Amino acid sequence: MPDSPAIQARVLFVDDDLSFLQMMRDVFGGTAGGAWEIQTATSGGDALQRLRARVVDLAVMDVFMPGMDGLQLLRLLNVEFPSLPKVLLTGMPDTNTREQALEGGAALFLEKPASAAGYDSVYATLNELVRWHKRFSERGALKRLSLLDLVKLECKSRNSRLFEVFTGDMRGEIYIKEGVIIHAIMPGRRGQSAFTYLTASPGAVFYLRQFVEPIEKSVDRQWEFLVMESAHVMAQLAEAPPAAPAEPAQVSKDDPSLAPKLPPPSAPMIKMAALKPPPLPTAEATAVPPAPTVSLPAPEVQPRVIKAGSPPPTTLEFQGHDDLVLDPVPDSLPMDSVVDPGGFKVEEMVLCQEFREVLYSAQCMDANKRMRLAEALMHKLTGFAALLPLGDLERVELNSTGNRMVIRFDARRCLLVRTNTKAIQPVGDPSAAESAEEWLARLDQSRGLLAAAVMTRDGRIFSRSFGNDFPQEVLQKVAQEAARLPELSLKNAFPAWFVRGLFSHGQLYAFHRQDGAVLIACLARLGIDTAAIVESSRQFTQVRAV
């Protein structure tokens, strides 16, 4: 039997660089082996003329072109050719342009290849997109990329991407790093189970987010296997007949076996409804065995001092700490600060919804950049809450030398306010007699202080906890991630040296000295001895952290 004819597709490349267009013809034309008919255009106007004259299956555009750039052309094509898949291909990728492209309707945002392997990877990704488009256009139906389709394309492109997924009343996240699925989480599920549920759920709504490193890695299987299993589950759901409505069962109060089962406890995230939809079938029987569950021993009488080199965190069972609810928590801790002589002043305000739409902006030079900062901090700090018994994230506070910023999270909206409040960053004393390890060993358990850790300039971590809710391996991981918070804020135009996350059950502080040492403190949400905590932070400036 003769082989099936190759899929014929017309692909338009738009770039003002003639040599690059010729290379596309030569390299991709040879790789396609006659399956692609490649057309080229040197400007946005030229591209519009060619698209109006002949139907194509894919438009690949450069970003930075004279006259009409790629983003402007993208907006025009969305109006005139809404069903045409569009890809931005650039040699100078940056996060801001990527966000604008994907939010503006581009199917993919790719970097121009610089090697033979890079050309092969880009071709494979574009060819997959062409196949997808032709398959549905030949059926006479237009179909948007599904979550699973986009995950597959991002993995083939070796991109880093965070997907925020809403299914029913629950929220989940899928993390892809350089084309590898590394983490998935939702209330009651994590790892492969969460990935399968989120990608196979009918009617799931998803958003592309700026990638941030997750607090843990819960997926260790190849993305091809995960996508195949999710596609199999989707096929099973599509073939299953709709269930007939059943009469409510009469449950006997005396028979516990007939009582409805409660869903598993949800992972701590931003407050969402607790309603859980019916479970989807998964492929857990063939999955890699999960990490062992560690049952923590009874609380120790003496606090522990932990040195660097602890193993990575595993799945942990935490105890509650309701007994820590004592007094109302202060809105803020006193710091070495002075208000400007001109008086307290709000310098900037941004209100956004779902990190996609700016609802209100005042005195803000770049509201989108502020929105990305809030989004990145939200994902990073909810990652901490997945490992520590902190509860739901409520707000984040940041201090730079000359400004203070507060970000409040409420359901799917967030409010960011920046003021002119000044604070003095701790310097540290490199000649101090007492080391960070010695200081932690004698650190008093101030009321509300649950755990503390110090990361020295050379990356060593010393930690101490006053109970089993904060085990050593988790404190090690949290300290490493919290030490990156200033870098994260600096990338988004706010050089913060102090970050405080306020959760429903606890608080997390990160003080960064000018010499690079970091103090991490976990506090009770209620019952804080303010004076003692402030004194501990001041003592931190007088220890040797080398």
139-143, 205-209, 214-218, 411-415, range with the lowest pLDDT: 139-143
Contact of 386 with 376, CB cutoff 8 Å = no
CATH of the domain at 52: 3.40.50.2300
- pLDDT reported for residue 439: 86
Same domain, 170 and 120: no
Domain boundary among 220, 255, 286: 286
- Asked if the structure places residue 540 within a domain, the reply is no
CA terminus-to-terminus distance, the chain: 73
Report the 10 Å Cβ neighbour count for 148: 19
- pLDDT reported for residue 243: 54
Same domain, 86 and 131: yes
224-233, 339-348, 427-436, 441-450 — most confident range: 224-233
Structure tokens at 143: 């179909």
CATH of the domain at 383: 3.30.450.30
- Asked if the structure places residue 299 within a domain, the reply is no
User: Domain residues for 396?
Assistant: 337-423
Residue 278 pLDDT greater than 70, yes or no:
no
Same domain, 73 and 163: no
Exposed / middle / buried, residue 458 (Cβ in 10 Å: 0-12, 13-18, 19+):
exposed
Distance CA 350, CA 370 (A): 8
Torsion of CA 513, 517, 523, 527, to 10 degrees: -40
Closest listed residue to residue 12, CA positions, set 62, 57, 63: 57
Distance CA 528, CA 324 (A): 9
- pLDDT reported for residue 7: 57
Same domain, 114 and 64: yes
- pLDDT reported for residue 15: 93
Q: What percent of the chain is predicted at pLDDT more than 90?
A: 10
How many domains is the chain partitioned into structurally?
3
- Asked if the structure places residue 331 within a domain, the reply is no
pLDDT confidence bin for 342, thresholds 50/70/90? low
Same domain, 65 and 171: no
DSSP letter, residue 285: G
Same domain, 155 and 133: no
b/e string for 428-440 if b means 16 or more Cβ within 10 A? beeebeebbbebb
Same domain, 22 and 137: yes
Residue 108 pLDDT greater than 90, yes or no:
no
- pLDDT reported for residue 144: 58
- Asked if the structure places residue 512 within a domain, the reply is no
- Asked if the structure places residue 296 within a domain, the reply is no
DSSP letter, residue 544: B
Domain boundary among 407, 423, 439: 423
- Asked if the structure places residue 497 within a domain, the reply is no
pLDDT confidence bin for 327, thresholds 50/70/90? very low
Distance CA 209, CA 175 (A): 10
Q: What percent of the chain is predicted at pLDDT more than 70?
A: 77
6-15, 234-243, 462-471, range with the lowest pLDDT: 234-243
Distance CA 452, CA 439 (A): 11
Same domain, 137 and 153: no
Same domain, 277 and 376: no
- pLDDT reported for residue 266: 36
SS (H, E, C) 237-278: HHHCCCCCCCCCCCCCCCCHHHCCCCCCCCCCCCCCCCCCCC
Mean pLDDT (the chain) is: 75
- pLDDT reported for residue 183: 93
- Asked if the structure places residue 457 within a domain, the reply is no
Same domain, 137 and 162: no
Same domain, 18 and 140: yes
Instruction: Say which residue the tokens 């599920």 belong to.
Output: 189
What are the pLDDT digits (tens) for 141-189? 444 567 888 888 888 878 788 888 888 778 889 999 988 999 999 888 8
Check residues 503 and 249 and name the one with the higher pLDDT.
Answer: 503
Exposed / middle / buried, residue 457 (Cβ in 10 Å: 0-12, 13-18, 19+):
middle
Distance CA 351, CA 360 (A): 5
- Asked if the structure places residue 275 within a domain, the reply is yes
pLDDT confidence bin for 532, thresholds 50/70/90? confident
Structure tokens at 113: 């290849």
DSSP letter, residue 367: H
What are the pLDDT digits (tens) for 70-97? 888 998 888 788 778 899 998 887 777 8
Contact of 364 with 378, CB cutoff 8 Å = no
Residue 525 pLDDT greater than 50, yes or no:
yes
Domain boundary among 374, 404, 423: 423
Residue 195 pLDDT greater than 90, yes or no:
yes
What are the pLDDT digits (tens) for 34-72? 888 899 999 988 998 899 888 888 999 999 888 888 888
Residue 269 pLDDT greater than 70, yes or no:
no
Same domain, 87 and 110: yes
Overall size of the chain counted in residues: 546
